[in-house]
Structure 1
């Protein structure tokens, strides 16, 4: 609701139309089973898309990382507004960082609903010569942070963007650098979807679109889609948009990908850097090539739960 309210204000500005927020509860919101068991992140999307196609709503706001990579032909991805912080965030007891928790003695218990996070956190702990216990959790922000406040867990890991949007960034004890933990493809970005047949609304919503965000997440999501065809291990991906001179225009894109086992014992990590893609088609080609290299390097043999 918080992220939808922000988009609603932007829609009012660019269209001049009043906007009513319609709350829709999805199966992903109410189920407490693991996402891998109930059908992956698409469980957050189907009810919204049904409402779009029935005409109950005119547009839907999604967290992009929850959108399946396959696109229904009767829906348009009308806008990808400027991306927020893509990093993961640690909320830990006593204001500790991950390294402080890992080396503190005992086996730190860290909660996350994401196999992608589990794989990379476990690998990070191993690199420090430590072991942690990653505990599968579900629920809203209050529920998850509540596990830390009650002492049941030492820390939880959440998306930084979500905490910022609901005004709870002050509870973050460490932002996890993509150099160590790559986010989910599309993390931090929102997607505004509407019926493809509504050409006028699609064109109006295009005023919210950020071309740099669209290029970056296209590369990430194409990497994910290509890996999903040949691998069921947790996937992280992040496209950095780089300037040759600080403060100047973006000229290059660096795409990084990781896939691994949830226990962190095996990770395949690759990256590629090149000129900023001039189109989403070029960005998709970058993502596809890197994914194919990852599959050739052994990603196809890493079996585990699909990423959140």
Structure 2
């Protein structure tokens, strides 16, 4: 085993450290190279009250980590892919996209309730315009209220009675071993996840060929193809990670082999209007699938909805 460990940059939250630890252990198991974690504070971690859009939206959780890689304080960084801007920094290489965890959202509600069982007027917490728009589109009469903070902070809002429920990513609860606290796994037919949700991105310096080659063992081609389609759609819509855009690409067997089926939604935070469309194509054309579906959504008026989200009410 190499005597010099790789330095892996991570946010300091329990979920980020758990994700990074899992990546480090997997990398060491496959390559024999030791890895040590280095915590890096990001703007999104330091400011737990402002809306993500007010903090700058795309990249608020990853900018400091990326700079730590570029300036050599760490050798690689692990990000939740949904937090990564769609424009690649030329100084960095997206060396690996790991096998995707369950990308769906979950509800954690008082008294074990599901979305359909929550009484009219129930207060449901989320800091995501994407979730807010889709929850309001369901017409359940819920009051969607802003909430920021880590998993513990959000769950505590329910146990304390401040909120009736919160909506979280199931992948985070699974990685923390807390999936049983969810009272419902939300069907993507109701709420599509964020582009890239459930996948982890591993970046290193673009000129660090040795680390790039090493990290390739962690890359999952099917997951990379799926998230490429989702992120291509997001980029073509010119919408950041805090925009009211949901997308989910799934790899399934088609007439000519494996295909990507991409579903997407753009919704006003009030719940209307909402645009939902889907497309399919080959894995090799992942980016093209996202671009074409986004073009269809733009033709239906998606640009106006995304634009309103930038100046709308605080999520």
Q: TM-score, normalised by structure 2?
A: 0.89
* Structure 1 outlier segments of 4+, above 2 Å: 303-306
Q: CA–CA distance in 2 between the matches of 1:64 and 1:97?
A: 28
Does residue 277 of the first structure (1) align with residue 277 of the second (2)?
no
Conservation of the 8 A alpha-carbon contact between 1:233 and 1:260: no
Secondary structure of residue in 2 paired with 1:71: coil
Matched, 1:14 2:17: no
2:270 corresponds to = 263
Q: Determine if contact 1:182/1:258 at 8 Å carries over to the other structure.
A: yes
* Mapped pair 1:26 → 2:42: yes
Task: Provide Cα deviations, 1:118-167, integer angstroms capped at 9, x if missing partner.
Answer: 0001111x1xxx31110011001111011100111110001100111111
In 1, Cα distance between the equivalents of 2:40 and 2:94?
19
Equivalence map 1:198-217=2 (5 Å): 198-217=208-227
**Where does the alignment leave 5 or more consecutive residues of structure 2 unmatched?**
1-16
2:121 aligned partner: 107
The structural deviation recorded for 1:233 is 5.0
1:92: which partner in 2?
109
CA RMSD of aligned residues (A): 1.9
Q: Name the count of aligned residue pairs.
A: 293
SS at match of 1:151: coil
Equivalent-residue separation in structure 1 for 2:123 and 2:257 (angstroms):
40
What is the alpha-carbon distance in structure 2 between the residues aligned to residue 20 and residue 240 of structure 1?
Answer: 33
Q: Is the 8 A contact 1:185 1:237 kept in 2?
A: yes
| Cα distance between partner residues in 2 of 1:68 and 1:161 | 20
In structure 2, do the counterparts of structure 1 residues 63 and 110 end up closer, same or farther at CA, with 3 Å as the change threshold?
same
TM-score when scaled to structure 1? Answer: 0.91
Q: Deviations over 1:6-58 (max 9, x none)?
A: 00011112331111011111110121210000111411111101110111111
The answer to whether structure 1 residue 289 and structure 2 residue 292 are counterparts is yes
Residue 258 (structure 2) pairs with residue 242 (structure 1): no
Is the CA contact (8 Å cut-off) linking 2:260 and 2:286 kept in structure 1?
A: no
| CA distance in 2 between partners of 1:286 and 1:190 (Å) | 22
